[in-house]
Amino acid sequence: MQGFLASWRLYGRTDRMLRNIFGILAVLLPLLLWSAVSYLPFVWHPQVLITDPGGEEYLETGMRMNRADFARAVTEMQEQHQPVPQGIPSNPVYLPSPGDVLSAFVHAFTSSAPVGAEHSITQAFAHSIRIIFWGFVISSVMGVPLGIMCGSIPAVARLVEPSVDFFRYLPAPAFGALAVAILGIYDAPKIAIIVIGTLFQQILVIANTTRKLDFSLVEASRTLGAKGLRLLFRVVIPGILPDLYRDQRILLGWAWTYLIVAELIGTSSGITWFITQQARYQHFDNVFAAMALIGIVGLGTDMVLGVVGRKLFTWKRENG
């Protein structure tokens, strides 16, 4: 028996080690591929960055052009006995290197950027966080109780779920013009889009989670005299709480996917405005830095919620 327990513990440690290794590789492999494309000219580099325009009038230092066009310009200058253009292999401007993106990311948090969301990634992202927060809170205040009631009370499900099924197929951005007409052009319609994008799925997901509660627990509680609100608050909600917490983690990620669309409604603002403005002036290192910030904060939030879930629901280890 002791040998079996020792083998089981060894298997557990090996399994954790392998999961950690694969987790590290999942991050490193895309970065290595990106670095290879960025720093190894023979991998891709379809363009040439002009360092000296030579005798070609339309070329400028810092300009990018396709290799075939550059070769044609070099040939023309050679035929005319003019100074030939000089350049180095380069990727398109929309694919900055990891070093450029890292530099832009660090610069965003260490420099005193001009005031305004179109210049400061931190100001822009703080505004987006407020949109996400209020949108998800409002959605949860309505969706969680409705979902639990639909999963617990068949009559409520028959009354609510047909309408929810209809609205969940409607794209949230389709409500943009209506939201602006009713709520104005500032933050309210953006929050409304987040709510619309998550509420209907939230109701159905939580209703389905509630229906998965072990029916024997409900029967035993009824046998002991529990009914009505007492049954709901003492048996149903505690029974589904770990799975409800997991559902909310997933749905929070869903809310993030609507952020960019939501911030295009009415006046442009937040991280979407920052990305749009930086792309307009071809500062794609800042665009990538903003996208990375969204991913880091989203993933970090989910990891923190996962740790909290494991602490709160120690009997439900798969919650992490």
In this predicted model, what pLDDT tens digit does every residue of 183-193 receive, in sequence order? Answer: 888 889 999 99
pLDDT value for 163: 92
19, 83, 13: which is closest to 51 by C-alpha? 83
Shared-domain flag, residues 283 and 219: yes
Number of independent structural domains in the chain: 2
Residue 319's pLDDT band, with cuts at 50, 70 and 90, is very low
Mean per-residue pLDDT of the chain: 85
Q: Is residue 1 part of a domain?
A: no
Backbone angles phi, psi at 88, to 5 degrees: -125, 150
Shared-domain flag, residues 73 and 177: no
Q: Is residue 26 part of a domain?
A: no
Q: Is residue 97 part of a domain?
A: no
Shared-domain flag, residues 60 and 164: no
Q: Is residue 4 part of a domain?
A: no
Shared-domain flag, residues 66 and 176: no
Which run of H or of E encompasses 90?
strand 86-90
Q: Is residue 206 part of a domain?
A: yes
Shared-domain flag, residues 197 and 70: no
Neighbouring CB atoms inside 10 A of 124's CB total 26
Shared-domain flag, residues 215 and 265: yes
**Region 231-238 average pLDDT:** 79
Query: Is the pLDDT confidence value at 201 over 70?
Result: yes
Q: Is the pTM of this model over 0.85?
A: no
Pairing type for strands 64-66 and 47-52 reads antiparallel
103, 102, 58, 96: which is closest to 76 by C-alpha? 58
Q: What is the pLDDT of residues 87-117, one digit of tens each?
A: 999 889 889 999 999 998 888 887 665 555 5
**Region 137-152 average pLDDT:** 93
- What CATH number corresponds to the domain at position 249? 1.10.3720.10
Residue 320's pLDDT band, with cuts at 50, 70 and 90, is very low
Domain extent, residue 299, equals: 121-316
Q: What is the pLDDT of residues 10-52, one digit of tens each?
A: 655 777 777 778 878 888 898 899 899 888 888 888 999 999 9
Shared-domain flag, residues 259 and 131: yes
**Region 182-211 average pLDDT:** 91
Q: What is the pLDDT of residues 281-306, one digit of tens each?
A: 889 999 999 999 998 998 899 889 98
Shared-domain flag, residues 198 and 84: no
Q: Is residue 179 part of a domain?
A: yes
Q: Is residue 312 part of a domain?
A: yes
- What is the rounded CA–CA span in Å between residue 157 and residue 146? 9
Shared-domain flag, residues 131 and 235: yes
**Runs of H (alpha helix) within 234-312:** 237-257, 259-263, 270-280, 284-312
Shared-domain flag, residues 53 and 159: no
Shared-domain flag, residues 83 and 151: no
Q: Is residue 19 part of a domain?
A: no
